[in-house]
Structure 1
Amino acid sequence: MFASLCFAEKEQIWRVHDEVEAHELDRMVYAERQRTEPGPAGRPSNLKMAQAKDTQKTAEGSDPWEDEIVEIDSIYDPLEPMNRAFFQFNDKLYFWVLKPVATGYSAVVPEFGRVCIRNFFSNLVMPIRAISCLLQGKFEALGIVLVRFVVNSSAGFLGFQDVAKQALNFPIQDEDLGQVFAFYGIGPGFYLDLPFLGPYSIRDAVGWGGGLFINPFDYMVNFWPNVGIRAYDIVNKTSLRIGDYEAMKEAAIDPYVALRDAYYQYRLHLIEK
C-alpha cells in the first residue's frame, strides 16, 4: 500500500489526469491565457478587465468586453505557500529526474510498445472504475467498463491492445471514488499540491486513498516489486506525454495557478459528465 503512495497511479505532477485528451489541455491553456495575458494594444489585460468589471460599465450599464472574458472557477487554496513549495519540488523532480529517464526510455522502446504497456496498466484498474460507476448508479458506464475488461483481457492479449475502443467504440470510463463523493454532495474542500503526487482536492485525495484498497494490484504484488512496477508505469506514461507539462508552463503567467485551475476544471468536467 505504501508503494502506491510513493508512486501514484495518477502521475499528476506533469499533467492533470491520466486520460486528459489534447483538446482538453488546449482548452484549459486557452482559458488560462485569456485570464492572465495582456490584451491587444489599447485594451486592458483580461485579468484587469475581470477585476474592473464592476467599475468599467458603459452608460447603458453593459460591459463592452463581457463576451471576451473567460470566467474560471477556482478551488479554495488556504495552504498556498506550502502548496507552492511542493509544486516547485514536483517541478524539479519532473525536469531533473522523470523527464530525462522517460526521454531515454522512449529512445529504446518504440511508441507502439509503450502504448501497449500503458493499456495493460490501465486495464488493471477496472475494479475502481466499476465500483465507482455502481455507486453513482451509472449502469451504462458500468456495462462499458465490464465489457472493456472482458474484451481487452481476452482479445486484447491481457489488455495490451484496446480492442474495445478500436472495434466496439467503447472508450475508457473515467470514474473514481472522488467522483462518487461529489455525486453524494461532498464538496472539494481545499486544494493540495502533494509531493510526488501533484494536485488534489481533499475530496479527491481521500477518494484516491480509498481506491488503493480496491485495487487488486496492491494485493497481488509484494512491496518492493510493487514500487518498481509502479515507477516503471509512471516512466512509461510520461514518455508518451513529454511536452504537455512544458506547454502549460510556457502558456501560463503563473504555472502554479495554471495547474491548480486546470486540475479543478478537469475534475469539474468529469463530475458533470
Structure 2
Amino acid sequence: MKNIAQYARWTGAAAAFALVAGCATGPNANPADPFEPLNRGVSSFNETVDDAVLVPVATAYQRVLPSMVRSGVNNFFNNIGDVWSLANNVAQLKLQGSAETFMRLNVNTFFGLGGLLDVASEAGIQRHEEDFGQTLGYWGVGSGPYVVLPLLGPSTLRDTVAKPLDYYGDPLAHMDDVRWRNSLVALRVVDTRAQYLRAGRLIGDAALDKYSFTRDAFLQRRRSQVYDGNPPDDGAGK
C-alpha cells in the first residue's frame, strides 16, 4: 500500500507540474520548449542546489574513494538498474535486449560478487538500458514538451508521467529498511553526480547559454535512446 500511495503522489505531482507549466507558455515559445520561462527558473534552482550540495559532496567522494571502489559502487547500481531495464526490454518485445539483460543480471549477480564486478561486460554481454519513458516512446507515445523537474532535472512530459512507474520498478524503492534504502539512494545520487563532474565543468565553460545547450543535448540524446541510436530523419520527436 505504501508503494501505491507513493505512485499516486508521483502521478499527482506530474499532473500538477504540467498544469502549472501550461500557464508559462507564450506567443514566441520554442516549439520544443513552450514552458521555457518556468523551466529556466527551475533550472536555476537546480543549479543552485547542485553547486551548494551535490558538487562539493561528489568532489569529496571522488577524491576520498579509490577509483576501484567507485567502480564497484557504480557496477552495483548498474546491476540493480538492469532489473527494471529487463522489464522494459520485455515490454518493448526486444528479444536480444531481454536475453542479454537477463544474462547480465545472472552473470554479474552470481559471478560478480552481487554486481560489484561487471563480469558480463568483460564477457562481451552488452548492456541495454531501458526505462518506462522509452517504452512509451517505443509504442508511439510522443515525447511532449521539454520540462525541467525540481531536483530531478531535464525531462519531457512523457518521461515525467512515466517516472512513477520508473520509481516503482526501482528495486531500492521496495526495501523495507528505511535507513538502508535512503542511504543507498543517496549514495547512488552522489556516485552518479561524481561521474559527470568534468562534463559539468566543460559545459559551464564552453556553453554561451548553458540552459539551451543542456536542453538541446538532452532532447537529442533522449530521442536517440528511444530509437536505439537510429532515429528517423523526419524531425518528428518521440
Instruction: State percent identity of aligned pairs.
Output: 30
| Partner of residue 135, structure 2 | 180
- Does residue 1:95 correspond to 2:51, yes or no? yes
TM-score if structure 1 supplies the norm length? 0.70
**Matched AA of 1:163:** V
Are 1:86 and 2:45 counterparts? Answer: no
Deviation, structure 1 residue 154 = 1.1
Q: Which has the higher helix share?
A: 2
2:16 aligned with 1:76? no
Matched residues in 2 for 1:213 and 1:102: separation? 26
Q: Provide the aligned C-alpha RMSD in A.
A: 1.7
Structure 1 runs not aligned, ≥5 long: 6-73
Distance 1:216 1:101 in 2: 25
The match for 2:95 among 136, 139, 152 is 139
Question: What does residue 26 of structure 2 align with?
Answer: none
Secondary structure in structure 1 of the residue aligned to 2:197: coil
Secondary structure in 2 aligned to 1:119? helix
Deviation (angstroms), 1:76? 2.0
Distance across 2 between alignment mates of 1:237 and 1:221: 24
Asked if the contact 2:133/2:162 (under 8 Å) is kept, the reply is: yes
**Cα pair distance change 1:244/1:75, threshold 3 Å:** farther
Larger radius of gyration: 1
CA shift digits 1:210-239 (9 cap, x unpaired)? 122222221124444322221111112222
Residue equivalent to 1:189: 144
Runs of 4+ aligned residues of structure 1 deviating over 6 Å after TM superposition are none
The residue type paired with residue 171 of structure 1 is Q
Q: Supply the AA of the counterpart residue of 2:42.
A: F
How far residue 152 of structure 1 moved from its aligned partner, in angstroms, is 0.3
Aligned to 1:248: 203
| Partner in structure 2 of residue 207 of structure 1 | 162
Give the distance between the partners of 1:95 and 1:212, measured in 2 at CA: 25
Provide the rounded CA distance (Å) in 2 between the counterparts of 1:221 and 1:75.
Answer: 44
1:219-230 alignment runs, 5 A limit: 219-230=174-185
| Residue-by-residue CA offset, 1:75-131 (whole Å, 9 max, x unaligned) | 621211111011111111121211111111222210110111011011112221111
Task: List runs of 5+ in structure 2 lacking aligned partners.
Answer: 11-29, 229-238
Equivalent position amino acid for 1:153 in 2? T
- d(CA) in 1 for partners of 2:61, 2:185: 15
Residue in 1 that maps onto 2:79 = 123
Q: Write the distance in 2 (CA, Å) between the matches of 1:77 and 1:222.
A: 40
Report the equivalent of 1:150.
106
Cα separation, 2, equivalents of 1:181 and 1:75: 21
Deviation at 1:241? 2.7
Which has the higher mean CA deviation after the structures are superposed, 171-180 or 212-221? 212-221
Inter-partner Cα distance in structure 2 for 1:240 and 1:267: 19
AA aligned opposite 1:150: N
The corresponding residue for 1:38 is none
Q: Under a length normalisation based on structure 2, what TM-score does the superposition of the two structures give?
A: 0.80
What count of residue pairs does the alignment treat as equivalent? 202
Contact 2:137-2:226 at 8 Å conserved across structures: yes
- 1:190 Cα offset (Å): 1.0
